[in-house]
A and B are shown apart, each in its own frame.
Chain A
Amino acid sequence: MIKLNGIYKKFKDHEVLKGIDLKVKKGDVLTIIGPSGSGKTTFLRCINFLEKPDHGTIQIGEKLVIDAHKPSKRDILQLRRQTAMVFQNYNLFQNKTVLENITEGLIVSQKKKKSEAIQIAESLLKKVGLSEKRDEFPSSLSGGQQQRVGIARALALNPDVILFDEPTSALDPEMVGEVLTLMKEIAREGITMIIVTHEIDFAREVSNHVVFMEGGHIVEEGTPEEVILHPTKERTKQFLRRLNKEPEFVI
């Protein structure tokens, strides 16, 4: 259960987030869609405090509540230990092997024993189909492969929620499919996911909760049927129309 209240952020004179409230239930797959500059990535990064909101509160689970006005270092660390992120540019640890990328977090922040960490990492590598790459370095993997390792790294931590920051935007088209397939599988397994993406079809198929953001506000929120198929707000309709240019006539 994740609750965000009144998240507000300003960069210099520009108000990026103008007070966002959001509730996410366990097992939800939430996608955040919207035009560039709407603040959706900034909002996502506030959830694990990679961006510091100016106002608002973040609650993860029953007990952990962080107030943006006085966040304690310990709480932020705890927040980051209960969440995991998959980055647009993968951000794999360049100086570690694929296997080590997955075990790093387990050993260092979850204080697991090396042998246990390796076991977990190996089974996840198998799951994402990259077992044979375990001793390779990220620089020798393709973008799609790196992102799958990134997802494995996030899964390994067994977090309360996995945050996906435009996971397929940096990928060549032929590799987008393999990553989306993996994400669909994870969604089916009941992992709580918050995804910022441009892939509207994916949002429609896989998520059970969609948020449309524009200009720092949540404009519309609901199930995929409600937001994507039958939007009520004009701005939502405009955005979706721009993305799905209907053909003039069909033969």
Chain B
Amino acid sequence: MTVFNIQFAIEHFPEVLKGVPITLSIAAVSIIIGSVIGLGLALTRVYKVPFLQQLTIVYVSFIRGTPLLVQLYVFFYGVPELLDWVNKTFTTTWNADNISPMWYAFMVYSMNAAAYTTEIFRAAINSIAVGQMEACHSVGMTTWQGLRRVIFPQMFEMALPNMGNIFINLIKSTSLAFAVKVVEIMAISKMIANQGYNFLEMYSVATIIYWIICLLLELLFYYLEKNVGKHRRKTAAVAN
């Protein structure tokens, strides 16, 4: 028996590649939705909104303190129960079986992304000098106008490197989406591997695919960081 059936690997490579769009879309959708929610949550903490602030703290602690896989299972088994309760109380006829696995994935991964992005947004906002907002107010802008035009642009730029890390982590974590029956890279690799015991070959294929995606993303974020924020080039004359 050959150690590594390279023929087999190459033959089935394209099939595994079919999982790449799913993986990318889960990560992309989640980071976008997650960032919007995350920004809102960050603001509740920056502005110390009573009750919402505490809720945010608990939410972030829970998401970051529990394994993603368990979160996926909680949703996967919880949503049908929730629908049953809704059906009983409001005499509706929602059917949990009609929910596509992708929806579960989008929900859980977005909630996950929200918890992580909120912390980087919060740190970024807190490190922007309070004078920036004061200057906005002093020229007669409302708080929201100041946030939108001056604070958020600076914040996004500061958060960019960490956003890159979060996105790459999201990509890796999509390998757990099989828990909610999503057919992505890992699920496909597993199916093919189990057919003929070609574990080494198929998981090597999966490894290479993830590795390449990761390296490409690192390159992408490297160039993004370089080109965004040309105005931040510091000279000795920067005001504090």
- B-binding residues in A (CB < 8 A): 48, 50, 77, 80-81, 83-85, 87, 89-97, 104-105, 108-110, 137-143, 145-146, 153, 157, 163, 170
Contacts and interface: CB of A to CB of B under 8 A. Distances in A.
Contacts of A105: 139-141
B239 A90 contact: yes
Nearest to A136: B231
Interface stretch (B43-51, B126-134, B184-192): B126-134
A94 B231 contact: yes
Contacts of A170: 239-240
A146 B239 CA distance: 8
A81 B140 contact: yes
B150 A95 contact: yes
B21 interface: no
Contacts of B240: 89, 170
Interface string B227-240: 00011111101111
Contacts of B157: 95
A50 B235 contact: no
Contacts of B71: none
Given A104-B149, A139-B235, A141-B237, A95 B154 contact: yes
Contacts of A142: 237
Q: Which of B145, B149, B233 has the most CB of A within 10 A?
A: B149
Contact of A91 (B132, B140, B235): B132
B145 A108 contact: yes
Contacts of B233: 137, 139-140
22 contacts: A48-B138, A80-B138, A81-B140, A85-B138, A89-B239, A89-B240, A92-B239, A94-B231, A95-B153, A95-B157, A104-B139, A104-B149, A108-B141, A108-B145, A108-B149, A109-B145, A138-B238, A139-B232, A145-B237, A157-B139, A157-B140, A163-B138
A96 B232 CA distance: 11
Interface string B129-162: 1011011111111100100011001100100000
Nearest to A142: B237
A155 to B, nearest CB: 11
Nearest to A49: B137
Contacts of A157: 139-140
Nearest to B151: A95
A108 B153 CA distance: 16
A236 B115 CA distance: 56
Contact of A138 (B145, B149, B239): B239
Contacts of B135: 85, 87, 91-93
Contacts of B136: 93
A208 B173 CA distance: 69
Given A93-B132, A95-B154, A108-B149, A84 B231 contact: no
Contacts of A94: 132, 150, 154, 231-232
A89 B129 contact: yes
Nearest to B233: A139
A105 B136 CA distance: 8
A143 B73 CA distance: 57
